[in-house]
């Protein structure tokens, strides 16, 4: 008895060559330096890798201070709004804590969770390398810079 699988594609897909890449959305083969796809709405700038961009996890960790994760990802105005929003939220939480024998303090964690979730989901607006220059001033090209190099001496 011979069983044949009929749902398989009839022809094998074309292997990608060194000068072509598949479109991330539709799979159509494009030249390596293509800026957009002819068959779908893919644009190269929309799907760049996270390398050189702000990390979502780091932004969430910075959001322990409300708004700092947004500033890390390049959204300075939004980050300042979240920081300023923490003041009335803090006053409300204090009043709720007084009225509820301390149970109202738990409301601030809902605010922190909202800030962290928004910092995780918002797109990066930082140019490549900006984060490294701002947050790692003593690093160059991913390698730590020594004290002698900071002082002006050259490396051997």
Structure tokens that stand for 125 in this block: 């607006």
pLDDT of residue 97: 93
**pLDDT above 90: residue 112:** yes
Structure tokens at 77: 């105005």
Q: Are strands 20-22 and 143-144 parallel, antiparallel or unpaired?
A: unpaired
Position 7 scores a pLDDT of 66
Query: Cα–Cα distance between 80 and 70 in angstroms, integer?
Result: 8
Half-sphere exposure of residue 28: CA atoms within 13 angstroms, side-chain side: 11
- 46 falls in which pLDDT band (50, 70, 90)? low
Inter-residue contact 91 to 40 (CB < 8 Å): no
Q: What is the mean pLDDT of the chain?
A: 75
3-class state of residue 133 by DSSP: helix
| 48-86 tens-digit pLDDT | 544 445 578 888 889 999 999 999 888 899 999 999 999
Q: What residue spans define the domains of the chain?
A: 1-47, 56-151
**What would the two tokens of residue 106 be?**
């738990």
- Give the other-Cβ count within 10 Å of 16's Cβ: 12
Tokens at residue 120, please?
Answer: 């995780």
Question: CA 113, CA 36: separation in Å to the nearest integer?
Answer: 37
Alpha carbon distance 60, 121 (integer Å):
10
Are 87 and 67 in contact by the 8 Å Cβ rule? The answer is: no
- Per-residue model confidence as pLDDT tens digits over 11-45: 555 554 568 888 877 888 888 888 888 888 778 76
Q: Does residue 148 come out as left (phi exceeding 0), alpha (psi in the -120 to 50 range) or beta?
A: alpha
């Amino acid at each position: 008895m011979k069983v044949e699988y009929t749902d398989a594609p009839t022809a094998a897909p074309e292997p990608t060559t060194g000068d072509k890449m598949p479109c991330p959305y539709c799979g159509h083969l494009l030249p390596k330096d293509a800026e957009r796809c002819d068959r779908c709405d893919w644009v190269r700038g929309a799907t760049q890798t996270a390398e050189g961009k702000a990390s979502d996890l780091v932004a969430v960790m910075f959001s322990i201070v409300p708004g700092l994760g947004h500033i890390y990802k390049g959204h300075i105005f939004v980050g300042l709004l979240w920081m300023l929003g923490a003041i009335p939220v803090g006053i409300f939480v204090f009043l709720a804590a007084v009225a509820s024998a301390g149970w109202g303090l738990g409301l601030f964690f809902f605010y922190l969770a909202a800030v962290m979730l928004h910092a995780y989901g918002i797109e990066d607006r930082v140019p490549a390398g900006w984060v490294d220059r701002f947050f790692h001033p003593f690093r160059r090209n991913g390698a730590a810079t020594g004290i002698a190099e900071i002082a002006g001496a050259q490396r051997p």
